[in-house]
Structure 1
Amino acid sequence: MERTIRFYKNAKHEWYADIPEWGGAVEDLQMVEGADELLNWVAASENECKLLMADEQIQNAEILDLIYTREENLGGGGDYLLEKFRGEFKNHKIWLCGVTEFVFKQLPEKIYFKEVV
């Protein structure tokens, strides 16, 4: 499955995913625990960016590897590792909440992503 998702910063400079069909609280769409830092790298000095995300390989994509599935009492979702970003070694850990399962209908073992310009 492939999906383009827009991410944006609010007035407090907090990152959020723009997922119109999400029926839960908007706070659930906030990007935290490493995902916000990744979006800062992608967007550079901009306040929004779009990522093509997929659970199957896409050409010239960055890769997030699932390293741990969190129990619901720990926030659910999963911890992912971004080993490299744009060819540079990062070894950056990211938590993606249960909204990831909503988008992909599962918690993918790998998430492939690249910026859409």
Structure 2
Amino acid sequence: MKKGFEIYLQRYRWFFLLGIVLLSIGLFFGLQTFQTTAPVHYSGWLTGIMPVSKENPNDSVLVAYDPVHNVTEDILKLENYTANNYGAVSPNGRYAAYTQWKTDRNRYLVVRSLKEETTREYFRDV
């Protein structure tokens, strides 16, 4: 019984190995394809903070601009916030980051989740 199984394995072992190798290659390329086709909405877009109007320069909006398709999107409205700061949005559109002034004229970083409406501040104690 054992000898017959060994002969069976020797005869078909290359088919098993080839099948495992082809399955591994297929999984690798499948994962690569999935990662490259995942939605990355703001990759390659330019972002910045613009004033809403000349009449009210203290209200601003974080905007994203796609230079390839000439499309502008408003990402986040910032009330009582001047446009002399920096802003960015993550490639998947889940997070927005912008700088804000402290009272002693130093900047700190604010990261806001656009889906859950949560905010975190970084470098506030620097």
Same fold per superposition (TM over 0.5) = no
From the two aligned structures, give the one with the greater helix fraction.
Answer: 2
Please, what TM-score do these two structures have when normalized by structure 2? Answer: 0.28
User: Considering only CA atoms, is the larger Rg found in Structure 1 or Structure 2?
Assistant: 2
Task: With a CA cutoff of 8 Å and minimum separation of 6, indicate the structure with the bigger relative contact order.
Answer: 1
Q: Calculate the TM-score normalised by the size of structure 1.
A: 0.30
